[in-house]
Amino acid sequence: MRWIFEPGFFSSHAVHVACAVGSIVAVVSGVVGVFTVMRGQSFAGHSLADVATAGGSGAFLVGISPLFGFVAGGVVGAGAMEAIGVRRARGRDLATGIVLGAAIGLAALFLYLSTTQTSTTGASQQILFGSIFSTVSSTVPIVAIFSVVCLGIMALVHRPLLLSSVSTDMAAARGVPVRVVALLYMLALALAVGLSSLAIGAILSTALLIGPAAIALRLTKRIGWAMAAAALSGVSAVLVGVLLAYDSYYWSSTHAYWPVSFFIVVIIFLGYLATELPFVRTATTRRGGSEPSAGTEVQQ
């Protein structure tokens, strides 16, 4: 056991906080992410992390809690994308790109102003890359509360959302308020991404949103199972990643921790590549699994 768990792993406070925050975020991201992948909105999901970052750096500059900056940035960004969004997928990507470009410009300005005025070194790197180990334990309850809100929205809209993700026309014909449902879903996405990019950084936010969900949709086509599988694989990637990052301190003579985001991302990526393997693909196809593409065959 000592070879797997280096001394102090179970008693380290930072590890506890990292595991708690990482798991909460992984569950929420997995649930929301299944819809993100199905609707082909990975770009929006990733962009919201950067947009939230811009909000966070703005909050950093004026000296209020970055939390509000991240959440407000995400929500405003999601609203802007919906507002200028065109119905066709290409137009949607363009709208996302414009919002993203403007937000990055703002982030550049905020970061520049905060580094020149307050001389806080490391601000840009911390905001961009974040670190699950530097999460303050007081953010855990806040992350938990917002996660409950986010899951509540998903519980409320998941049935009409599923229908309108599969076929917008059919949903509209059945009397589903398609725009409202899409807006509520974007709100949930913005909350999930804003929180996760605050807690664990923009890279991990995207990785946990898209990766586990894409893996899950490769393995099963039932939406409930897909959500559960996404949450489960996200949580396991986080826990194993935290463990490896903790152990990495002893790997080289320089005694520097490798970034935990690296391990989590690599685990998720390997998992995704594994679903490309021929025998996994035939096994799931025999059971009736399908590509997540178009999402037309997804059942309730």
* Binding stretches for another protein (CB under 8 A): 37, 40-43, 45-47, 84, 89-90, 93-94, 96-98, 100-109, 111-113, 115, 121-122, 124-125, 128-129, 203-204, 206-207, 210-211, 214, 254, 256-259, 261-262, 264-266, 268-269, 272, 276, 291-293
Residue of 163, 106, 153, 300 whose CA lies nearest to 221: 300
Question: Residue 207: which region, alpha, beta or left (left: phi > 0; alpha: psi -120 to 50)?
Answer: alpha
Determine the distance from the C-alpha atom of residue 145 to the mean position of all C-alpha atoms in its chain, rounded to a whole number. 17
CA distance 24 to 235: 8
Q: Which is nearer to another protein, 100 or 154 (CB)?
A: 100
| Closest separation in Å from C-beta 175 to another protein | 30
Residue of 290, 288, 226 whose CA lies nearest to 34: 226
CA distance 212 to 204: 12
Q: Which is nearer to another protein, 68 or 272 (CB)?
A: 272
| Closest separation in Å from C-beta 74 to another protein | 17
| Residues in Cβ contact with 161 at an 8 Å cutoff, skipping those fewer than 6 apart | 35, 181, 182, 184, 185
DSSP bridge pairs for 299: 222
| Closest separation in Å from C-beta 204 to another protein | 8
Q: Which is nearer to another protein, 69 or 85 (CB)?
A: 85
Q: Which is nearer to another protein, 50 or 164 (CB)?
A: 50
CA distance 108 to 106: 5
| Closest separation in Å from C-beta 2 to another protein | 25
| Closest separation in Å from C-beta 94 to another protein | 6
Q: Which is nearer to another protein, 17 or 107 (CB)?
A: 107
Residues constituting the chain: 300
| Closest separation in Å from C-beta 129 to another protein | 5
Q: Which is nearer to another protein, 50 or 162 (CB)?
A: 50
Rg (CA), the chain: 20
Phi, psi of 289 (to 5 degrees): -75, 165
